[in-house]
């Protein structure tokens, strides 16, 4: 898929992995539409990235808001790239100090991480199907999971469940959308320098980075963006989840 001239949606594009992805796609000549919450730094991010970046305040769990955003992103040019980077990592044990995990808290994480991913992918794919093929492709959807989707830690009941779901839907979506010439891929990052990680004490960040076999550090958002860029440009990457983790395997806690 040619990046230059394409329209791209990046959810969670106000910060972290999404911000790095939006920056890289803009640098490659795409028109990038940052979808993030109204309370986010999305407007500032778009200003920083220049005239090729546009902020659309959106809750990814809202069908109406996502549908309107997809319509806006596909106006004036074909929407060909979707990077689903929005997500939350709210912790919680199945049975904690205050008793059983609140079902509402569990479902909220699943609604955002898994439901939001499906919502954006569905709305975008319905528009991508109408694109004129370029190089035998109409579009590429790249979702974000986590290594926690494979070996979730204690206290990651909701997060691991939601990210495991993203991993599981990758192949079915790729199979379904193949006839429409749309690819679907997922990236499962390890521990990265993100706003969620920045909230931890420095010692905790260094400890987590030190558990990565090589390189022995936290991942950098631009390394995620670089992989996403390659996925977009490599037509044989389809229906797979790629671990981007430096050979990390999460401990139980």
Question: What is the token pair recorded at 241?
Answer: 């989840």
- Residue 235, class by beta-carbon neighbours within 10 Å (0-12 exposed, 13-18 middle, 19+ buried)? middle
CB 175 within 8 A of CB 182: no
Q: Which of 33, 159, 192, 224 is catalytic?
A: 159
CB 31 within 8 A of CB 6: yes
Question: What is the token pair recorded at 158?
Answer: 């909701």
Residue 217: closest CA among 246, 237, 188, 241? 246
CA atoms of 217 and 17, how far apart (whole Å): 16
CA atoms of 116 and 69, how far apart (whole Å): 13
Does residue 150 carry a catalytic annotation?
no
DSSP conformation class of 53: E
CA atoms of 214 and 181, how far apart (whole Å): 36
Q: Rg for the chain (alpha carbons), in Å?
A: 17
Catalytic residue numbers? 159
């Amino acid at each position: 898929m040619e990046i230059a001239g394409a329209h791209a949606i990046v959810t969670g594009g106000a910060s972290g992995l999404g911000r790095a992805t939006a920056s890289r796609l803009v640098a490659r000549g795409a028109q990038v539409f940052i979808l993030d919450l109204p309370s986010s730094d999305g407007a500032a991010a778009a200003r920083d990235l220049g005239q090729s970046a546009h902020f659309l305040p959106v809750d990814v769990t809202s069908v109406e808001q996502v549908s309107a955003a997809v319509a806006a992103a596909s106006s004036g040019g074909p929407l060909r790239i979707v990077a689903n980077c929005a997500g939350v990592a709210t912790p919680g044990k199945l049975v904690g100090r205050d008793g059983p995990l609140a079902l509402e808290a569990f479902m909220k994480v699943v609604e955002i991480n898994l439901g939001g991913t499906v919502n954006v992918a569905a709305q975008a794919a319905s528009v991508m199907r109408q694109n004129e093929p370029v190089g035998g492709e109409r579009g590429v959807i790249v979702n974000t999971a986590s290594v926690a989707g494979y070996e979730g830690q204690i206290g990651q009941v909701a997060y691991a469940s939601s990210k495991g779901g993203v991993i599981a839907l990758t192949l079915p979506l790729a199979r379904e959308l193949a006839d429409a010439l749309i690819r679907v891929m997922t990236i499962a990052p390890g521990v990265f320098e993100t706003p969620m990680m920045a909230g931890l004490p420095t010692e905790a960040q260094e400890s987590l980075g030190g558990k990565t076999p090589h390189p022995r550090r936290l991942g950098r958002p631009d390394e995620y963006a670089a992989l996403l860029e390659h996925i977009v440009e490599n037509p044989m990457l389809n229906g797979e989840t790629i671990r981007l983790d430096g050979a990390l395997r999460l401990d139980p806690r």
